[in-house]
Amino acid sequence: MADTIKVDPKDKPRIGVFVCHCGTNIGGFVDVKSVAEYAKTLPDVIYATDNLYTCAEDGLVSIREGIRKHNLNRIIVASCTPRTHAPLFQATCESAGLNKYLFTFVNIREHCSWVHMKEREKGTTKARDLIRMGVARARLLIPQEEQRVDVEPSGVVIGGGVAGMTAALSLADMGFPVHLVEREAELGGFVKNLNNLYVTEKSATDTIKPLIEKTKAHKNVKLHLGSQMKSVEGFIGNYEIVIGAKGAEDIKAKVGTIIVATGALEYVPEGLYGYNQYPNVVTLTEFEILCKKKALPKMKNVAIIQCAGSRGQVKTYCSRVCCNVAIKNAINIVDNYDNMLGLAEQLGTVIEKVPVEQKVPEEIIERRRRRRGRERGEEGEADEVKLGPSEKIEVTVFNRDIMAYGVEHELTYNKAREKRVKFVRYTTDHLPRVYMEGNQLTVGYFHETLKLERTMPVDMVILSTPLVAQPDAGDLSQMLKVPLGQEGFFLEAHVKLRPVDFATDGIFVCGTCRGPADITEAVTQASAAASRAAIPMAKGYVQAEALTSVVDENKCSGCGTCIQVCPYGALRKSEKGLAEVIVAACKGCGCCGATCPEGAITMTNYTDAQLLAEAKAALQEEV
């Protein structure tokens, strides 16, 4: 690496132009030699030459030597496309000591020789014009420093469900200290409500116990139970957070990154299918709690109704997990009911009917109360349950489509059918109806193949209701300045390629707070989020390409328009009430600059003057 060449913006530009033949790719269709000759006639051009392959080692050497021999302080390469080759030539300039922002790329292959193969003369004229434009731009370039912002190598994870714990542990295992903030008194999240987990038959509590224990024990994890985020200020690498717990002093901390994992709740199907109107109509979660408590009623016929409140009925979306959870429970019923009931009988907890809300078991009332945001109590542990098939019990799943995606779910779905679980399809034109026929709970439905109304007396109706966003997700969204999507779930930066990033750098998202997902998916997203968050922390800094916005404080009136339009939250109000760029977060799109009503924002390396000079040079008649 040569010594850095000091280039003062006021120095007269000394431009070197390297025109490439690219074998015959350019040379075959454009008179490259004459173009290089022409370049010599342009203002401030000190040196111009043509190379057979500028990107080959000999071409690169000629650039380095040009810089040295002719004291060049601006370099132009006219060849292929900057989208693939700019890094190479920029690195070459740097290796000769020239700041890479003093390099200009002119595309005379993709945009010229290859698209004007039949028009040598006009193509050559265009190549000349393009180089003239490049020279006009190069004359106005100034060296740029890439700004670095230090990153605090620690994080905070908000939410202590499976996703939050996994994210925290992953960061901790990578060696970063992390705060884990859970608003309830215990870790575990929604899974604490569940009986067993699908695909395996393991109890939910047993499954997550090691995770909880590891989280509690890890030396890098600082747990904040019964706590919430009170405030967040700052930007990537430098967040000042305040964590508050009831009756305790606030805890202040500085962290580099934030992971949101606040989970979801189950929809309460008030007013649907006789819920809270008839006894023995419960949601999936309530059913799992009954199973777990071994407090099932006596029953012979069970109906499970899918999509209760989802896919357009109340919420627009499909909740992804409920079909497979319903299948899991259907299998549980046919396999285990005798045992569960038997055990319940032994324990003396058999209930005749699951009554409507006023009379439901403690456990469910408690859960509903919690769901509405109040405090919670302790919970018992489940005992081992022995398995055994039942010949007596019938389970019918009323569904629109069964979302048994992937390998295991589809196989389990087949298994359920083999076990005599019946699947009856309904359409939204003919929703099933739940009503009381005298004292008998009944499901009425339309048989799609026979085109007939049917009825089915049942002992219990289980409603598969969707997961819904936390009612207070909006508060967190405002505190962190990250967006919520349509149904109140957090919105990622890019649906496909940035599934766990927020558009704002330094903040990440995982688990059911970003949309319905099962545990496996939630924890995969969680370690993905940890991976993303670890990037700036492992580096210790973020470096922004010098393609950012710059606010002229003398012009800015503090109107805030730019802050509104920036998709990355890269602008904020300074203490003076004026706009201020968070260089580490700016991606250089230029939207703020084109918007600012005062014309107070310019883009580094893409100033109006540079763009206009480049474009205007095209309009010039040839000199």
Partner 1 sequence: MAENVQHAIAQKKDEPAGANEWEPKIIGFLCNWCSYAGADLCGVSRYQYPTNVRAVRVMCSTRISPHIVLELFTAGADGILVGGCHLNDCHYITGNFYTEKRLRLMKKLLEDAGIEPQRLRLEWVSASEGEKFSKIVTEFTEQVKKLGPSKVKKDAALKTRASAADGASQTFRLRALVGKELGLEKTGNVYGQKLDQTELEKLIDAATKDEFERSLILELSKQKARSVKELGQIMDVPTDKVLRHIVVLRQKNMIAMEHPDGLTPTYKAIEIGGEQ
Partner 2 sequence: MTKDVMVIGGGIAGIQAALDLADKGMIVHLVEKTPSIGGRMAQLDKTFPTNDCSICILAPKMADCFSHPNTNVITYAEVVGVEGKVGSFKVKVLKKARYVDETKCTGCGECLEKCPSKVPSEFEMGLSNRKAIYMPFMQAVPRVMTIDKEHCTMITKGKCGNCKKACKREAIDYEMKDKILELEVGAIVVATGFDSWDPSSATEYGYGRYPNVFTALEYERMINAAGPTHGHIERRSDKKRPIKMAFIQCVGSRNPQVGHPYCCSVCCMHSTKESMLAREHHDDMESTIFYKDMRACAKGFWEYIERAKRDYGVRYVNSDATVQENAETHNPIVVYDVGGRQQSEEFDMVVLATTLVPRKETLELAKVLGLKADEFGFLESSERILEFGKTVVPGIYLAGYAAGPADIPESVAQGSSAAAKAVEAIVQAGG
> Which has the closest alpha carbon to 379: 187, 224, 165, 192?
192
Question: How far apart (Å, rounded) are the C-alpha atoms in residues 148 and 135?
Answer: 30
Q: Identify which of residues 346 and 543 has a Cβ nearer to ligand SF4 in the complex.
A: 543
**Footprint (CB under 6 A) of ligand FAD, residues 230-269:** 261-264, 266
- Piece of the chain touching partner 1 by CB under 8 A; list 40-48, 81-89, 170-178, 297-305: 81-89
> Which has the closest alpha carbon to 507: 549, 583, 568, 564?
568
Q: Which does 282 bind (CB under 5 to 8 A by kind): ligand FAD, partner 2, ligand SF4, none?
A: none
- Whether the CB-CB separation of 222 and 157 falls below 8 Å is answered with no
Q: How far from 418 is each of 300, 335, 414, 422, CA to CA, in Å?
A: 18, 12, 6, 9
CB-CB neighbours of 537 under 10 Å: 25
The count of residues in the chain is: 623
Question: How far apart (Å, rounded) are the C-alpha atoms in residues 131 and 417?
Answer: 71
Q: Which does 319 bind (CB under 5 to 8 A by kind): ligand SF4, partner 1, ligand FAD, none?
A: ligand SF4
**What minimum distance in Å lies between the beta carbon of 87 and ligand FAD?**
23
Chain-centroid distance of CA 243 in Å reads: 24
Q: Which does 110 bind (CB under 5 to 8 A by kind): partner 1, ligand FAD, partner 2, none?
A: partner 1
Question: How far apart (Å, rounded) are the C-alpha atoms in residues 235 and 566?
Answer: 14
Q: Which does 476 bind (CB under 5 to 8 A by kind): partner 1, ligand FAD, partner 2, none?
A: ligand FAD
Q: Which does 312 bind (CB under 5 to 8 A by kind): ligand SF4, ligand FAD, partner 2, none?
A: partner 2
Q: How many residues bind ligand FAD (CB under 6 A)?
A: 40
Q: Rule CB under 8 A: is residue 555 a binding residue for partner 1?
A: no
> Residue 357 corresponds to which tokens in the numbers above?
């809300």
**What minimum distance in Å lies between the beta carbon of 285 and ligand SF4?**
13
Enumerate binding residues for ligand SF4 (CB under 6 A): 306-307, 310-311, 318-320, 322-323, 400-401, 403, 464, 466, 548-549, 551, 556-562, 565-566, 568, 570-571, 578-579, 581, 586-592, 596-598, 600-601
The binder of partner 1 chosen from 276, 313, 561, 574 (CB under 8 A): 561
Q: Which does 142 bind (CB under 5 to 8 A by kind): ligand FAD, ligand SF4, partner 1, none?
A: none
Q: Identify which of residues 60 and 603 has a Cβ nearer to partner 1 in the complex.
A: 603
Partners of residue 400 on adjacent β-strands: none
Partners of residue 551 on adjacent β-strands: 601
Q: What is the CA radius of gyration of the chain?
A: 33
Question: How far apart (Å, rounded) are the C-alpha atoms in residues 354 and 462?
Answer: 11
**Footprint (CB under 6 A) of ligand FAD, residues 461-480:** 467, 470, 476
**Footprint (CB under 6 A) of ligand FAD, residues 288-317:** 288
Q: How far from 11 is each of 90, 105, 120, CA to CA, in Å?
A: 21, 21, 37
Partners of residue 440 on adjacent β-strands: 437
Q: Which does 264 bind (CB under 5 to 8 A by kind): partner 1, ligand FAD, ligand SF4, none?
A: ligand FAD
Q: Identify which of residues 266 and 492 has a Cβ nearer to ligand FAD in the complex.
A: 266
Q: Rule CB under 8 A: is residue 599 a binding residue for partner 1?
A: yes
> Which has the closest alpha carbon to 285: 316, 325, 323?
325
For 362-365, the CB contacts below 8 A with 24+ separation are: 363/289, 363/293, 363/295, 364/282, 364/286, 364/289, 364/290
Q: Rule CB under 8 A: is residue 55 a binding residue for partner 1?
A: no
Partners of residue 107 on adjacent β-strands: 79
Q: Rule CB under 6 A: is residue 593 a binding residue for ligand FAD?
A: no
**What minimum distance in Å lies between the beta carbon of 253 and partner 2?**
23
**Footprint (CB under 6 A) of ligand FAD, residues 150-169:** 158-164
Q: Identify which of residues 30 and 325 has a Cβ nearer to ligand SF4 in the complex.
A: 325
Within 8 A by CB and 6+ apart from 295, the residues are 344, 349, 350, 351, 361, 363
Residues that bind partner 1 (CB under 8 A): 29, 81-83, 107, 109-112, 114-123, 125-126, 129-130, 133, 493, 503, 547, 559, 561-562, 564-565, 567-568, 587-591, 593-599, 603, 606, 608, 611-612, 614-616, 618-619
